[in-house]
Amino acid sequence: MRILVFGHSGQVATELRALAGADIDIATLDRDAANLMDPAACADAIAAHAPDAVINAAAYTAVDNAEDDEETAHQINAIAPAAMAQACAARDIPFVTISTDYVFSGDGTDPWAPTDPTGPKGAYGRTKLAGEDAVVAAGGRYAILRTSWVVSAHGKNFVKTMLRLGAEKEALTIVDDQIGGPTGAAEIAQACVTIAQGLARDPSLSGIYHFAGGPDTSWTDFAREIFAQAGLPCAVTDIPSSEFKQRATRPLNSRMDCTLTTTAFGIARPEWRESLKTILHQLQNQT
């Protein structure tokens, strides 16, 4: 299968490049090759590459900045995926795009199912939800894969931030009332490929799916596990989100019900402690 990926150096796109092999040809597009501010360029790239499937691993993910620049976030998170989905629908090829738990309100304690009502509380979530709606409206073979708390050995993420701060400081204060599933970018990349292959065989699998690491945990307990596995003696003090001011509201409840993803594609929910172990090993080999 020849897969065209929008994105090149991001966490998931980097892991997608690593999956290229004899049976899977992966071509990634950086900003120079596909300007997400130009929807026609996105459609033209699909026409030029003539892939068997397309994965959108590019997004405007600066959650706080989106509050002040929603127009740009909307262009990248909604208008560009719409153009991609329409181009794929015209060619009857699978389109997989990555979305987020931020499309939900973050209220309650029950895991969010794909069919639950959405209700984003910030600009980032609104733009991602608009992208979801546009992909569905395109009418092709599609999968929207909502995920949460993405981490890897690449780019900027919570694991790398904790390792840096944990080596510099004896103690940190971290929010304890946001609950979700840390998810390895490598596992997301593999899930995207598996889903694309499934859609190629059976277009009736088109729909919205959830994929997140388990078991659900808090940022504080995630940090403690990072320090434990990395051998860093950094103490963690729990604080509520109300004491950690940020421009955009973070969901308190990011729990994701991933049952449908397992049923449709046989993709099990990954164990985030194992993902973390792999990430730390990769980081050690980089130094």
Q: What is the pLDDT of residues 224-271, one digit of tens each?
A: 999 999 999 999 999 999 998 899 999 999 999 999 999 999 999 999
Helices (H), the chain: 11-17, 39-49, 63-66, 70-74, 80-91, 123-138, 158-168, 185-201, 219-230, 259-265, 272-286
32 or 119, greater pLDDT? 119
Please say whether the beta carbons of 67 and 84 come within 8 A. no
The reported pLDDT for the residue numbered 48 is 96
The reported pLDDT for the residue numbered 287 is 63
From CA 164, how far away is CA 283, in angstroms rounded? Answer: 12
pLDDT band at 215 (very low <50, low <70, confident <90, very high): very high
From CA 13, how far away is CA 11, in angstroms rounded? Answer: 6
Mean pLDDT of 53-57: 98
Residue 35 has pLDDT above 90, yes or no: yes
The reported pLDDT for the residue numbered 286 is 84
Q: What is the pLDDT of residues 71-90, one digit of tens each?
A: 999 999 999 999 999 999 99
Question: Coil, strand or helix: which one is 143?
Answer: strand
Q: What is the pLDDT of residues 112-161, one digit of tens each?
A: 999 999 999 999 999 999 999 999 999 999 999 999 999 999 999 999 99
Q: What is the pLDDT of residues 9-24, one digit of tens each?
A: 999 999 999 999 989 9
The reported pLDDT for the residue numbered 22 is 83
- Let me know if 124 is a catalytic residue: yes
Q: What is the pLDDT of residues 150-186, one digit of tens each?
A: 999 999 999 999 999 999 999 999 999 999 999 999 9
The reported pLDDT for the residue numbered 281 is 97
Provide the percentage of residues in the chain whose pLDDT is more than 90.
Answer: 97
CB half-sphere exposure, 76, CA atoms < 13 A: 21
The mean pLDDT value of the chain amounts to 97
Q: Which of 146, 141, 186, 196 is nearest to 280 (CA)?
A: 186
The dotted CATH code for 2-156+182-214+256-270 is 3.40.50.720
From CA 94, how far away is CA 135, in angstroms rounded? Answer: 11
Query: Would you kindly state where each structural domain of the chain is located, as residue ranges?
Result: 2-156+182-214+256-270
Residue 54 has pLDDT above 90, yes or no: yes
Mean pLDDT of 36-56: 97
The reported pLDDT for the residue numbered 245 is 86
